Structure 1
Amino acid sequence: MSMVKVAAIQMDSQNDKQENIKKADSMIREAVLKGAELVTLPEYFNFIGEEKEEEENAEYIESGETVVFLKNIAKELNVWLHGGSILEKVDGNEKYYNTTLFINKNGEVVSAYRKIHLYDVEINNGPSHLESKTKNFGTEIVVSDTDFAKIGLTICYDVRFPELFRLQALEGAEIAIVPAEFTLFTGRDHWEVLLRARAIENQLYVIAPGQIGNKPAFQSYGRSMIVDPWGTVIATSSDKESVLISEIDLAYLRGLRKQVPSLSNRRPEVYNITKVGGVKV
């Protein structure tokens, strides 16, 4: 399979989980009606609220209501479904994981990724947020197999860490998915630049479904995007909830990797900080 139609769903999720799931159901169905074979949801698609509300909305990934919903609709619609992210509850741990589930056409969870880089920032005259106050750090890099390509799983703030995407590309990833709740403050200057950079340097497609709207902690930027391996933005959402559809061409990607073989031209044998400083003469 060379041509694959993909969807990035942009949502304004709030603190009503049932309403968010209902909305996601409708938007996933719209995407599939438009021909999408891979549908992606944004970060925290099922719930965004106050910290005090997280306990009652966190879920076990084996049996939570959101997980059951994702598995059922993927199977019903015969579609690959990327579940944005949810708050994952773990027994014996007071903190939660920010977790992505990737589900195949049979409604089976084939991969789970826990966000590695948590959003701990304090920007002058901008948003301050300490995600690690209530969340655990993930520890595993995940590349998931499909029947059309390998896919690297990331979440939001991960996009600022190029080594994660490079390792996924070296493991064969041809698509990276970046579900996000990016802030308006940083999104205006960094969102598109970072997505395009990750696509160019790793020669892969980037699918980035985002949140939009006012949240308890900050205003979300939106502007969900699909970027090709040349760094061209081939689809962008407007500033509203929407279903973004685009066709990606894996034959184009594979041809580009042969023509500009930057991945195979790497020199890992000299990537050693002790050698910085140049040749002595």
Structure 2
Amino acid sequence: MRAGLVQLNSGDDPAANLPEILGYISAAAAGGATFIATPEVSNIVSSSRSHQRALLKTEAQDETLAALCAQTAALGIWLLVGSLALLSDTPGEARFANRSLLINPEGRVVARYDKIHMFDVDLDGGETYRESAGFAPGRRAVLAKTEIGQIGMTVCYDMRFASLYRALAKAGAEIITAPAAFTVPTGRAHWHVLLRARAIETGAFIIAPAQCGQHVGRKTYGHSLVVNPWGEVIAEAGETPGVTFADIDLNQVKAARARIPSLAHDRAFELPG
């Protein structure tokens, strides 16, 4: 299977972002990709909650998702929409959803995952993020069992929580997706090592399409990655928008897990008192 990772520099207008997303997906399909993945918040990058409130829609009403479903069906590919910022469809929830969606070649959403771990941090240089103020955290891990493999779904900050990845791998995940909008300081320090560690620990392919460049109010790191089950980077983008390809052989999952069968070696232990 050939994977195509779409790297974006999304702005704060979903309608303006959509043509670029569609163009890169078409380019990825033209390059032979049958599984294509876009970054976190593909439809809008904005730190203004009021601006998002004015533009965002529920999943059922979202024009970006409708267009992506139609394009996926037309191209006959699998599409992982890294995530969309959406109005919540939970009654009484005022915060948004940061939702990753898997679309099959018929153009139907077959799996959806709401990001569990929220990025609430104070970085050097005065950068502050309070994702939980605007987005409601998800509660459920998701494994999509498909004809192209078993796909565990995560989003960005989730990659710092190894227990989620281990749980997905033990449930059968062969591929774990990690779409992101990583900050530049944390990206330089941790992006590669975290993704390689998650691949090594799980014996799975990690597919991590990323946002890149300057957005309104923030800058993202780029460097979309594919890491194989032995922890080797087999594809990496740079710091500008575009498409990066990687060939995925799921036989490598079984081989890596046979060499280091740590998923079967869990033992109960007592916590320090």
TM-score band, normalised by shorter chain: over 0.9
Equivalent residue number for residue 65 of structure 1: 63
- Which residue of the partner structure matches residue 74 of structure 2? 76
Taking only the aligned residue pairs, the percentage that are identical comes to: 36
Contact 1:58 1:86 in 2 (8 A): no
Equivalence map 1:60-139=2 (5 Å): 60-90=58-88, 91-139=91-139
Greater mean deviation of Cα atoms: 242-251 or 53-62: 53-62
1:87-106 CA distance string (max 9 Å, x none): 12125321111111111111
CA shift, 1:126, in A, is 4.9
Q: Distance in 2 between matches of 1:114 and 1:18?
A: 22
Instruction: Name the CA distance, whole Å, in 2 between partners of 1:89 and 1:124.
Output: 31
| Cα distance in 1, alignment partners of residues 207 and 126 from structure 2 | 27
Match of 1:56, SS state, is helix
Partner Cα separation in structure 1 for residue 255 and residue 72 of structure 2? 31
1:41 — aligned with what? 38
Query: Cα offset for 1:58?
Result: 1.7
1:71/1:103 contact within 8 Å kept: yes
Q: Secondary structure, in 3 states, of the residue corresponding to 1:255?
A: helix
Name the Cα RMSD after superposition.
Answer: 1.3
Q: Report whether the alignment pairs 1:16 with 2:16.
A: no
| 154-163 or 59-68, larger mean C-alpha shift | 59-68
- CA displacement at 1:253 relative to structure 2: 1.6
Structure 2 counterpart of 1:26, from 5, 23, 26: 23
The CA distance in 1 between the partners of 2:92 and 2:172, in whole Å, is 35
How far apart are 1:216 and its partner, in Å?
2.9
CA distance in 2, matches of 1:147, 1:57: 35
Tell me how far apart the structure 1 counterparts of residues 8 and 66 of structure 2 sit (CA, whole Å): 20
Query: CA offset at residue 261 of structure 1?
Result: 1.2
Structure 1 distance, partners of 2:270, 2:17, is: 47
1:264 paired with 2:264, answer yes
Give the whole-Å Cα distance in 1 for the aligned partners of 2:220 and 2:101. Answer: 22
Residue 192 of structure 1 aligns to which amino acid in structure 2?
H
Residue ranges of structure 2 left out of the alignment (5+ in a row): none
Cα deviation digits, residues 240-279 of structure 1 (max 9, x gap): 1110101011112212212221112222xx2342xx48xx
Task: Write the letter of the residue equivalent to 1:32.
Answer: A
Kindly indicate whether the alpha-carbon contact (under 8 Å) linking 1:57 and 1:87 is maintained by their aligned counterparts in 2.
no
Aligned to 2:248: 248
Letter in 1 for 2:156: C
Query: Structure 1 unaligned runs (5+)?
Result: none
How many residue pairs get aligned? The number is: 270
CA–CA separation in structure 2 for the residues paired with 1:216 and 1:11: 14
Q: What amino acid maps onto 2:70 in structure 1?
A: N
CA distance in structure 2 between the partners assigned to 1:180 and 1:265 by the alignment: 30
Are the aligned partners of 2:95 and 2:134 in contact in 1 as well (CA < 8 Å)? yes
- Which consecutive segments of 4 or more residues in structure 1 shift more than 6 A? none
1:125-172 deviation line (CA, Å, top 9, x unaligned):
352110111111110100111102111111111110001100000110
Counterpart position of 1:52: 50
* Aligned AA (2:27): E
Query: Structure 2: which amino acid aligns with 1:51?
Result: R
Alpha-carbon distance between aligned partners in 2 of 1:187 and 1:126, rounded to the nearest angstrom: 17
Larger Rg: 1
Q: Shift of residue 23 of structure 1?
A: 0.4
